[in-house]
Amino acid sequence: MSATSATTTTSAAHGAPQGVPGRLVALLAVATGMTVANLYYAQPLLSVLSGAFHTSTAAAGALITLTQVGYVIGMLFLVPLGDRLEKRNLVTVLLTVTTLALLTAGLAPSFPVLLIASLVAGATSVVAQILVPFAASLAPDHARGRVVGRVMSGLLTGILLSRTLSSLVSGLAGWRTVFLGSAVLMAVLAVTLRKALPQHAPTTTMPYHHVLRSTAQLLRRHPVLLRRGLYQAAMFGAFSAFWTTVSFVLTGPRFHYSSLAVGVFALVGAAGAAVAPFAGRWADRGLVRPVTGAAFVVAALAFALAGFGGHSVVLIAPAAILIDMAVQTTLILGQHTVYQLDPAARARLNSAFIATFFLGGAAGSQLGSVVYHAGGWAGLTVLGAALPLIALLYWLTERPWRAAARPEPAGR
């Protein structure tokens, strides 16, 4: 019996309703949160980095864009290996490279070196998106949404708390300590996962270039995969535009927040992660389509609230929570949907899905910086509201489909 089967069997014997040991789910949640946080540590530090390297606001914003582009590269070329290689070994190698990239970022003598190190760290931080389908593979069908929701709650909490942690550490010990500290965490995580993860055999024996080709073919074979990716591209673009620029607003002449205060504000947004388990349950109940539409509406209204709150953090804060809740809801619903399309190709499905919407996130970061520079906070909130409304119009063209598409083999 394989280690994976043994894990599932052991869990069932102890009556775990989700079919996966609770400790393993918790570890996967923490691991995904820690790795994906690497993409967001720089967001609240843009003003500090701009001053440290004497760059413009737009150039500093490019750091976030390039990190997300790296993540897309990793999603396209590294995550599909989760179907082709033994996952534990793959995770160990990627975390080792992440550690070295973060060390380089923390010691960067110039802004271009920081950009390159961030690109590499972004590419290898896709470990998070190898672990999420890993959890989905261990879970039984009837509880997959709940398990993915719990693991995703860790990932989403990591996204949101990363800004707070980054601001606090930077305020106390400088921005370099943020990257150096994360390097240490990645090294510890590599060792921990190496010991704790069960071996998980590859689900395909195709050559690597065939794996990459089959990943692209999945977008054609499963129209719902592309649709969910575009939905999330719009939502993540709005999310990235908000969080890339809000630090400039809070540290600007209107609020005069310190980096520590920006970190406290980011902590407010972390409350949005509480929706993740509920989104998983809604997915298990077959409510994917109506809840998706509702999330688009909530996101648009949240940006309208943020626009009216341009002079008051009392309105910007609840808007941040609503934006995060809406984006997280559509993300979990989307992953629940695409994981049902082909159990043997979950890593590749996840690769195509995440890469699609992270392109939207990278565009949102860069476009948000440009719009904020040209039109201020009012222009940014108009952009943020427009993106989920565009997704809503696309959602109206969706034909209701039966729970999940029938699984269709993607090749062995």
Q: What integer is the mean pLDDT of 235-260?
A: 85
Helix (H, G, I), strand (E, B) or coil at 41: coil
What local confidence, expressed as pLDDT, does residue 70 receive?
Answer: 92
Higher pLDDT, 77 or 399: 77
**Residue 64 DSSP SS3:** helix
Q: What is the pLDDT of residues 116-174, one digit of tens each?
A: 999 999 999 999 888 887 877 777 777 677 787 788 778 778 877 888 889 889 888 99
pLDDT digit string (tens) for 330-353? 998 998 899 889 887 877 888 889
Which whole number is the average pLDDT over 214-219?
A: 86
Residue in 171, 37, 176 with CA at minimum distance from that of residue 104:
176
Query: What pLDDT, on the 0 to 100 scale, is given for residue 17?
Result: 38
**CATH architecture of residue range(s) 13-395:** Up-down Bundle (1.20)
* Residue 18: pLDDT over 70: no
Residue linked to tokens 């993915």: 148
Greater model confidence, 250 or 299: 299
d(CA 275, CA 377): 27
pLDDT for 12 equals: 37
Tell me: pLDDT of 191 over 80.
Answer: yes
pLDDT tens track for 72-88: 899 889 988 887 888 88
**Mean confidence (pLDDT) of the chain:** 84
Tell the residue number behind the tokens 């709005």, with chain if given: 238
Percentage with pLDDT > 90 across the chain: 40
Nearest to 193 by CA among 95, 84, 79: 95
Structure tokens, 304: 């309208």
Q: Please report, for the chain, the start and end positions of each structural domain, with discontinuous segments joined by +.
A: 13-395
DSSP state of 406: P
- With a cut of 90, say whether residue 366 has pLDDT above it: no
Q: How far apart are CA 124 and CA 94, in angstroms?
A: 5
With cut-offs at 50, 70 and 90, classify the pLDDT of residue 400: low
Q: Convert 38-52 into a string of H (helix), E (strand) and C (coil).
A: HHCCCHHHHHHHHHH
Is a pLDDT exceeding 70 seen at residue 195? yes
pLDDT for the residue numbered 21:
73
Least confident of 278-292, 301-315, 372-386: 301-315
Q: Nearest to residue 232, comparing CAs of 343, 140, 152, 124?
A: 152
